[in-house]
Structure 1
């Protein structure tokens, strides 16, 4: 009987130990989830921009012979991106200014001595070519300073559509332009009152 009792007690202890192990799952690893972002109180936003507030403007394929110059972008040249809209939504009655800042942050900069956007350098990039930005009336927007690269609008109903055009232009001496990729980045800031 003692042997039976001892065997029964041993089995009971093993069963209890097994249940204890079964109740506590085996960990296979642990970690953290980090969330990040910014909460703002912007009175204005730009429609059709992505999460990074980026707007894409396809410029197409343009022949060097069809380009104007940095000082006369559409005199003998053709527009590459005609009348693209930037739709701005703001609180009603907001006075908003859009300031282009070619030299800021991720901007590709300016072609020296001009108010024309510089192309991003790199393998296969076009040379002695820039991008001229034009307002709704076809006038060249001088990107060389925030004061000359500022578009103002007083929004009565809270919505507006700013129209722009863009053209590839030659920026060097005649005959020095080299074909290639024509990419550029132009940062902007919306300021409101």
Structure 2
């Protein structure tokens, strides 16, 4: 009997000892800073001024909501954002727009690919709906997975311009969406490569 208990105890100690080992490593950050002087402005289909881009989604009937599966986007708002860099662009050829939904409206709880509407749960606001960003390949960008949109830079000397085009659509996130205000905010960051 003592042998069995000692053997079981030794196995537990050996297992606990192995679980206590840890690995360590190093995270190396690499990159560069550029002296680019770029401006952002609303392009076709967008309003606003400067870095504040306004996209009018329109008044969409609940019956016309997309499901977000495949390329089912019945009603979309096409828009673009213009990038104009006066200098500092030598050697760069792409601009990427990354999104930070958590600093804005957040991601939708039922479909985290989508942007959550502001005021969800408050009287007068739509429910069961999110906003999808759709790229040129007609695919919903997964906002929960750090999706980005890229565009080539048209570089002339040290200056460059670009046009980031996309679409947005209201998407039903459950079987019983309700009508109401359907607004959202989505901060973005531009990087140049």
Q: TM-score, normalised by structure 2?
A: 0.67
Give the SS at the match of 1:144: helix
Aligned ranges 1:86-105 → 2 under 5 Å: 86-90=81-85, 91=87, 92-93=89-90, 94=92, 95-104=94-103
RMSD: 1.9
Map residues 1-193 of structure 1 onto 2, 5 A cutoff.
43-48=37-42, 49-51=48-50, 53-72=51-70, 74-75=71-72, 77-82=73-78, 84-90=79-85, 91=87, 92-93=89-90, 94=92, 95-104=94-103, 107-112=104-109, 113-121=111-119, 122-146=122-146, 149-157=147-155, 158-172=160-174, 174=175, 176-193=176-193
Q: For structure 1, which runs of at least 5 residues remain unmatched after alignment?
A: 1-40
8 Å CA contact 1:67, 1:78 repeated in 2: yes
What is the CA distance between 1:88 and its match in structure 2?
Answer: 1.1
Cα displacement (A) at 1:78? 1.4
Report the CA distance between 1:153 and its aligned residue: 3.0
8 Å Cα contact 1:44/1:88 also seen in 2: yes
Give the greater-gyration-radius structure (CA): 1
Higher strand share: 2
- In structure 2, what is the Cα distance between the partners aligned to 1:168 and 1:118? 10
Q: CA deviation at 1:50?
A: 2.4
- The 8 Å contact of residues 127 and 179 in structure 1, kept in 2 or not, is answered as yes
Listed one character per residue, the Cα deviations across residues 152-180 of structure 1 (whole Å, up to 9, x for unaligned) are 334132111111111101001x2x10010
